[in-house]
Amino acid sequence: MNKTATRQPKLGVCYYPEHWPESEWADHARQMADIGLSYVRIGEFAWSRLEPNPGQYEFDWLERSMDVLGNAGLQVVLGTPTATPPKWLCDQMPDMFAIDEEGRRLGFGSRRHYDFSHVGFRDECARIVTKLAERFGHHSALTVWQTDNEYGCHNTTYSYSPVALAAFRNWLAKKYDSIADLNRLWGNVFWSMEYRSFDDIELPNLTPAEANPSHRLDFLRFSSDQVVLFNRVQVGILRKLSPGHDIVHNFMGAFVEFDHFDVGRDLDISSWDSYPLGSMERRVDVSDDHKSKYLNQGDPDFQAFHHDLYRGTSNSRWWVMEQQPGPVNWADWNPAPLPGMVRLWSWEAIAHGAEVVSYFRWRQAPFAQEQMHAGLTRPDGSPDIASVEAAQVAREIAALDLNVETGVADVALVLDYNSIWMSNIQPQGKDFDPIAICLAFYSAARKLGLSLDIVSSDEDLSAYRLILVPNLLHVTDSALGSLAKTESLTVFGPRSGSKTHHLTIPDALAPGPLSALLPIRVERVESLRPGIEIAVEGGSVSKWREHLQLLSKPDQQRCADDGTPIAVRYGSRTYIAGWPDDALLSAVLTNLAHAAGVPTHALPDGVRLRKMGDKWVFVNYGRSEQDLSHIIKQQQILMGDGPVIPCAGVLITTAA
């Protein structure tokens, strides 16, 4: 994988010409260009305007809007409108609606009202995408296609419908040699859950007790594959009819319902929709104190985590497709960003290699569901704060040379969707959240000033100097190969290697195949209710704790108060037998970074650093200014007024 960023970053915006009088379009375009935007995403919810009646295509207005934008020097990202099928289409095939886990049909009236498994609807999508590609595939303003919008948003990945059931049975029949094979691998002898044919299999919802976890896991895999398939149909059409144009999809944060590596492989560019304040408010794994501390800034690591994650899904090419510009409408509470935060978020994305940062949206809509969602301009067209900050970012980019060759980061964090699904299906402790433990490892490393890549489990890891594996429950053969091959210092979180492909326990117990690398055996696991902490040398563990049998003497270990080992190091590999707090993680990672020769930095509270080639980009999520002299030392300040970084500030330095 080519870990580089070699383009000067650009800014963009999301725009809905159909929401505004055509007479204003040219003015909008000029304003966009004036503040330094380069890209404009349009079209992704406009099906009812593009085809108001069956087969009656109304594409002229879209062409005119693209002309207007192109004439203003803007490049167009054109979205396929498949997230919002019009009412007449739904009436033609009422079984295209998904059915939720409780058995309720979710119908027309908002968006994403479709079942990924509905073949008829998929065909309709192919039809409209074909028509759009034929008409606009060579438009001069067109640069990038976006497929659909936010796959899976509003819990729409999973459907418990008859069409999903039929597709699931087919998927299983292809995966397994025979029904006997499936019965054996799922352990269906348990509770007499055995099937006599693939047509016996039901969906894993609405059962008196929980359904078989192997059954549930395959249903999640199937559902992820249906997203991949749905996307691939559109990608195939666009590649054929509009060659030379990149294809992107906009992912979401803290969303794991499908395997983003799988979808990303079919795209040229991954992107995601970054809403720091809304996302933090929604998280249940974050304390109220943390939410109050970062109320108007967002969690200091959440955005960077996703930047690094999605950078890893499409060969290092990635965008922020939707950047929060002000208060949103969809969290329980919706505060405003501190002045400067929109600029900070933009620069942070650039520091992590974003090709484009695109704000959502140009003008706040005065109507419908998102009318309380701020934009770069207000509903009356007046510029909102974010447009001033965006313009500043544009000027700042122009003043710097950011065609930086970055290479891979010092540190890799391995993230595996199959393992995440396994953790979620059987968390064993109610608050065992696999994304939260990945974020805990990520955050601890970031607080030490480390820069990371997030990679899938089957990636070649040899280029990294430190590897974090927080939640790899299932270790595939290829993952084992990569992990075995590298001499890099590697640290594994609890539950590593504890499950097979079918979400069963390995014959030799956890850490399963990793026992080839780590001479330990997990004899027992406990999950711990909130408030229970096990003191460990250097910190503590909570939520989860394992009891290890050490098959040989470790090179190093940290023990719990009762003398049992929690963190053990054998050669280059360390295993942590519990959910570590920040202090313990920091202690372990500091040691390992020093051993690996990776420099760490004592970053003040709220400050984060991303190294971008020879440039160091500091951001300050805290409310207080911080003096960075001790870190910057002799470096030259490229952007910023000195070594003191203000609240919501950005500071860029380079080797002197």
Residues marked as catalytic: 150, 322
Find the length of the chain: 656
CA–CA dist 587, 570 (Å, integer): 17
Interacting residues with a copy of itself between 458 and 477 (CB under 8 A): none
Nearer to a copy of itself, 188 or 358 (CB): 188
Interacting residues with a copy of itself between 422 and 451 (CB under 8 A): 426, 428-430
Question: Shortest Cβ distance from residue 217 to a copy of itself (Å)?
Answer: 12
CA–CA dist 200, 40 (Å, integer): 49
Stretch that binds a copy of itself, among 188-196, 221-229, 388-396, 630-638 (CB under 8 A): 188-196
Asked whether position 47 contacts a copy of itself by CB under 8 A, the answer is yes
Asked whether position 519 contacts a copy of itself by CB under 8 A, the answer is no
Stretch that binds a copy of itself, among 40-48, 393-401, 442-450, 567-575 (CB under 8 A): 40-48
Interacting residues with a copy of itself between 198 and 217 (CB under 8 A): 200, 202, 204, 206-215
96 secondary structure, DSSP code: G
Question: Shortest Cβ distance from residue 115 to a copy of itself (Å)?
Answer: 11
Asked whether position 547 contacts a copy of itself by CB under 8 A, the answer is yes
Query: Does residue 381 come out as left (phi exceeding 0), alpha (psi in the -120 to 50 range) or beta?
Result: left
Nearer to a copy of itself, 190 or 630 (CB): 190
Asked whether position 225 contacts a copy of itself by CB under 8 A, the answer is no
Asked whether position 190 contacts a copy of itself by CB under 8 A, the answer is yes
Asked whether position 127 contacts a copy of itself by CB under 8 A, the answer is no
Nearer to a copy of itself, 401 or 507 (CB): 507
Asked whether position 26 contacts a copy of itself by CB under 8 A, the answer is no
Question: Shortest Cβ distance from residue 110 to a copy of itself (Å)?
Answer: 4
Nearer to a copy of itself, 365 or 638 (CB): 365
DSSP β-bridge partners for residue 76: 40, 142
Quick one: angle between helices 341-351 and 385-398, nearest 10?
40
Size, binding site for a copy of itself by CB under 8 A: 108
Select from 26, 126, 336, 595 the one that contacts a copy of itself (CB under 8 A).
Answer: 336
Asked whether position 108 contacts a copy of itself by CB under 8 A, the answer is yes
Stretch that binds a copy of itself, among 100-108, 233-241, 311-319, 470-478 (CB under 8 A): 100-108
Question: Shortest Cβ distance from residue 333 to a copy of itself (Å)?
Answer: 4
**How far, CA to CA in Å, does 198 sit from each of 178, 181, 183, 195, 308?**
8, 11, 10, 7, 40
Question: Exposure of 485 by Cβ count < 10 A (0-12 exposed, 13-18 middle, 19+ buried)?
Answer: exposed
Nearer to a copy of itself, 155 or 403 (CB): 155
Question: Exposure of 2 by Cβ count < 10 A (0-12 exposed, 13-18 middle, 19+ buried)?
Answer: exposed
Interacting residues with a copy of itself between 316 and 335 (CB under 8 A): 326-327, 329, 332-335
Question: Exposure of 379 by Cβ count < 10 A (0-12 exposed, 13-18 middle, 19+ buried)?
Answer: middle
Asked whether position 130 contacts a copy of itself by CB under 8 A, the answer is no
Select from 3, 4, 8, 105 the one that contacts a copy of itself (CB under 8 A).
Answer: 105
CA–CA dist 652, 619 (Å, integer): 9
DSSP 501-551: TTS---TT-TTGGGGGTS-EEEEEEEE--TT-EEEETTEEEEEEEEEEEES
Asked whether position 365 contacts a copy of itself by CB under 8 A, the answer is yes
State the CB neighbour count (10 A cutoff) for residue 39: 24
Q: Which of 514, 491, 383 is nearest to 445 (CA)?
A: 491
Nearer to a copy of itself, 52 or 73 (CB): 52
Query: Does residue 347 come out as left (phi exceeding 0), alpha (psi in the -120 to 50 range) or beta?
Result: alpha
Asked whether position 287 contacts a copy of itself by CB under 8 A, the answer is no
Nearer to a copy of itself, 296 or 591 (CB): 296
Asked whether position 388 contacts a copy of itself by CB under 8 A, the answer is no
Nearer to a copy of itself, 312 or 511 (CB): 511
Q: Give the up-direction half-sphere exposure of residue 120: CA atoms within 13 A in the CB hemisphere.
A: 11
18 secondary structure, DSSP code: G
Give the SS3 label for residue 447. helix
Nearer to a copy of itself, 194 or 537 (CB): 194
Question: Shortest Cβ distance from residue 252 to a copy of itself (Å)?
Answer: 13
Question: Shortest Cβ distance from residue 43 to a copy of itself (Å)?
Answer: 11
Give the SS3 label for residue 142. strand
Question: Exposure of 94 by Cβ count < 10 A (0-12 exposed, 13-18 middle, 19+ buried)?
Answer: exposed
Asked whether position 106 contacts a copy of itself by CB under 8 A, the answer is yes
Interacting residues with a copy of itself between 606 and 635 (CB under 8 A): none
* Residues 242/142, Cβ–Cβ less than 8 Å: yes
Question: Shortest Cβ distance from residue 61 to a copy of itself (Å)?
Answer: 11
State the CB neighbour count (10 A cutoff) for residue 589: 26
* Residues 345/280, Cβ–Cβ less than 8 Å: no
Question: Shortest Cβ distance from residue 150 to a copy of itself (Å)?
Answer: 10
Nearer to a copy of itself, 332 or 487 (CB): 332
Question: Shortest Cβ distance from residue 174 to a copy of itself (Å)?
Answer: 21
Query: Does residue 40 come out as left (phi exceeding 0), alpha (psi in the -120 to 50 range) or beta?
Result: beta
